[in-house]
Amino acid sequence: MSANDIAMKQAWTQVAAEAARLKGAKLLDLFAADPKRVEALSFAAPHLNADFSKQRIDGAAMNAIGALAGAADFDGWRAKLFGGEIVNTTEGRAAKHWALRITDPPGGDNDVTRVLDRMHAFAHEIAESGDFDALIHLGIGGSDFGPRVVLDALKAHRRPNITVRFAANVDGADVADAIEGLDPRRTLLIVVSKTFTTQETLANAEFVRAWGPARIAAATAAPEKAVAWGVAAEDVFPFWDWVGGRYSLWSSVSLVCEIALTHGVFFRMLEGAEEMDNHFRDTPFTQNLPAISAAVQMWNREALGHGSYALIPYAERLRLLPTWAQQLEMESNGKGVTRDGASLERSSCAVTWGVAGTNAQHSFFQLLHQGVEEVPVEFIVNAGAQEGPPSHRAKVYANALAQARALMVGKTAAQAKAEMIATGMSEAEAVRLAPHRTFTGNRASTLMAIDELSPEALGALLAFYEHRTFTEGVLAGINSFDQWGVELGKEMANALLPALEGGTPAADLDPSTAAWVRQLRT
């Protein structure tokens, strides 16, 4: 066993000891024991602050996780990330998405700024020409989610009179919806694919190209493939292999945002992300918001055994955040082996799920409050100006705070019974109903706030999640930047396609798949 393995083992022993101490702890008792608990477990970064005091954690547990981060060489891996070293060791690549957000690079001119300048000029040309009233963005996964989140979140900054449609799914209904009601002669098609080989995107792109859009642009790390497919070279906007797909919204992948948002908004988002980059790069682990948040995620998963968490933005404009974070977190960290290929002893990723509050309350919050398993919740509110009727503002906060408080405080059977009797119910009926109206409470949550829904704050928030994901990967000892797990299904789909298009099914299919091929072939 190497010295490093021994250090990791010792650090885990300490984390496990702290977990054993806190596992059965009552959150309300932790508050009672430490009057400064809220301050001690609240952290701030540019445009974002977070309160972890309702997590089953304390200073000693944080110290143990800090020691684990030391043993996992968090400082070293962070330096490698920002030094542009190869951190994606199975593909031999750096992960320099942060370099897309250096808004004032020393020396000025470089590949990143040149492409950004071309995007600005192109956006200006398209938006100001008067020739276009619709953009169709075709991509999938990391070539799709980011621009969707950004355009939805920053609706207040959209140019009027430009309709944006997205299609990602290879189910033809998606792309049929995308063109519906649009005039191809006034539509720009943007094909976005890092590899320019993705089946779904190319199938959708071929369909829309045949429909006859006025102009076609592409964003890709394989510009020669886009040109070979038929995009004019001057309308191809490159990015680079050091930009992972799920980290690519800062690149030409967001050409649609550059066009559909008013001048300067996309750049302001980059600036906000850069502020978060600086915080993450320069702040020690113990005060570093993405790192602390990663520690809490790891703690809930590995120390306390909660395999999923719910991400609930109490902000309609952030309703797509959980979908984006799902790919970011689970495609990055849903791994089974360490960087060296050894089987992981513990999981490296929770299941991310969630939708916007308050809608979520009327859906699955029943399970969060009374289901047998605890699911930690991450609440996000917008502390700044709100759109729409002013009278809604307090209501959205009241709901977010109440849910976090209800999860923690709960309601005993005695309380439930007393409340029912106070309404005039019989003792027998109150006793019968009390178990159903009891809340165990003591359920953990984090509450975070962005200072306002500005382009800068959105950039900072998305960069926060990227850095948190990276830190969780470091704590688990994995490579967060590859995604081999998506390949097998893609290979098998390609192999099955000929049979489903009427050809002869392969002889070696398992009986279940073979039966379905017979049923579904065209």
Contact flag: residue 48 with ligand F6P (CB under 6 A): no
Q: Would you call 295 helix, strand, or coil by DSSP?
A: helix
Question: Judged by CB under 6 A, which of 245, 272, 290, 354 binds ligand F6P?
Answer: 245
CA pair distance 201, 139, nearest whole angstrom:
5
Contact flag: residue 446 with ligand F6P (CB under 6 A): no
Question: Judged by CB under 6 A, which of 55, 193, 348, 446 binds ligand F6P?
Answer: 193
Cβ nearer to ligand F6P, comparing 18 with 258: 258
Catalytic residue among 331, 378, 456, 466: 331
CA atoms within 13 A of residue 451's CA, in its CB half-sphere: 12
Question: Judged by CB under 6 A, which of 22, 48, 135, 142 binds ligand F6P?
Answer: 142
CA pair distance 446, 312, nearest whole angstrom:
10
Can you read off the two tokens belonging to residue 242?
A: 């050091």
Question: Judged by CB under 6 A, which of 143, 300, 445, 469 binds ligand F6P?
Answer: 143
Contact flag: residue 141 with ligand F6P (CB under 6 A): yes
Cβ nearer to ligand F6P, comparing 167 with 457: 167
CB 322 within 8 A of CB 282: no
Contact flag: residue 147 with ligand F6P (CB under 6 A): no
Total chain residues near ligand F6P (CB under 6 A)? 14
CA atoms within 13 A of residue 269's CA, in its CB half-sphere: 28
Catalytic residue among 180, 362, 487, 491: 362
Q: Which one, of 180, 238, 245, 249, lies nearest residue 208 by Cα? A: 180
Q: Which one, of 452, 301, 443, lies nearest residue 372 by Cα? A: 443
Question: Judged by CB under 6 A, which of 140, 149, 265, 291 binds ligand F6P?
Answer: 140
| Cβ at position 201, least distance to ligand F6P in Å | 5
Contact flag: residue 334 with ligand F6P (CB under 6 A): no
Contact flag: residue 195 with ligand F6P (CB under 6 A): yes
CA pair distance 316, 388, nearest whole angstrom:
11
CB 137 within 8 A of CB 106: no
Torsion of CA 34, 38, 40, 46, to 10 degrees: 180
Report the Cα 92 to chain-centroid distance in Å: 24
Question: Judged by CB under 6 A, which of 53, 55, 88, 198 binds ligand F6P?
Answer: 198
| Cβ at position 245, least distance to ligand F6P in Å | 3
E strands within 91-178? Answer: 93-94, 134-138, 163-167
How many H-runs (helices) and E-runs (strands) does the chain carry? Answer: 22, 13
Contact flag: residue 194 with ligand F6P (CB under 6 A): yes
| Cβ at position 197, least distance to ligand F6P in Å | 7
Q: Does 36 qualify as catalytic in the annotation?
A: no
Q: Does 155 qualify as catalytic in the annotation?
A: no
Question: Judged by CB under 6 A, which of 96, 97, 246, 279 binds ligand F6P?
Answer: 246
Cβ nearer to ligand F6P, comparing 66 with 473: 473
Q: Interface residues for ligand F6P in 262-301 (CB under 6 A)? A: none
Beta-bridge partner residues of 217:
190
| Cβ at position 194, least distance to ligand F6P in Å | 4
Phi, psi of 411 (to 5 degrees): -150, 125
| Cβ at position 492, least distance to ligand F6P in Å | 14
Burial per residue of 352-378, b for 16 or more beta-carbon CB atoms within 10 angstroms, e otherwise = bbbbbbbebbeebbeebbeeeebbbbb
Binding mask 482-511 for ligand F6P (x = CB under 6 A): -x--x-------------------------
Q: Does 362 qualify as catalytic in the annotation?
A: yes
| Cβ at position 230, least distance to ligand F6P in Å | 17
CB atoms closer than 10 angstroms to residue 340: 9
Positions marked active-site: 331, 362, 490
Binding residues (CB under 6 A) for ligand F6P: these are: 140-143, 193-195, 198, 201, 245-246, 331, 483, 486
